[in-house]
Amino acid sequence: MNDETPPVDGDGDGASPCAWCGRPVRQSGTGRPREYCRRSCRQRAYEERQIQQRIAVANQAALAIARDKQLAAADAAATDSSRDDQIRHVTVDGSEP
């Protein structure tokens, strides 16, 4: 008799593929179902998410700065040049015009 159970990747009903590499994920049976087949896949996915998040934050910051500049420009156009004290107060990133 053979006690060895070869790795079968077709028996799990509801077995979902790894969210990173697509290989079938062997569920441990307890707790919530795993998304990744191994730790490195989870790590990669986590890093990827961090990068995406950083890009999104950077984009938002760029948008905010652009909007800030637009507001400052509109303000400058609307008000007299004698009130540029307030405009300087608006810039958040510390860059002087």
Catalog residues that contact Zn ion under the rule CB under 5 A: 18, 20-21, 37, 41
The 10 Å Cβ neighbour count of residue 1 is 3
Of 21 and 76, the one with the shorter C-beta distance to Zn ion is: 21
The 10 Å Cβ neighbour count of residue 41 is 19
Of 33 and 97, the one with the shorter C-beta distance to Zn ion is: 33
User: Cβ 38 to Zn ion, closest distance in Å?
Assistant: 5
Of 37 and 72, the one with the shorter C-beta distance to Zn ion is: 37
Q: Which pair of tokens denotes residue 2?
A: 């053979």
The 10 Å Cβ neighbour count of residue 29 is 7
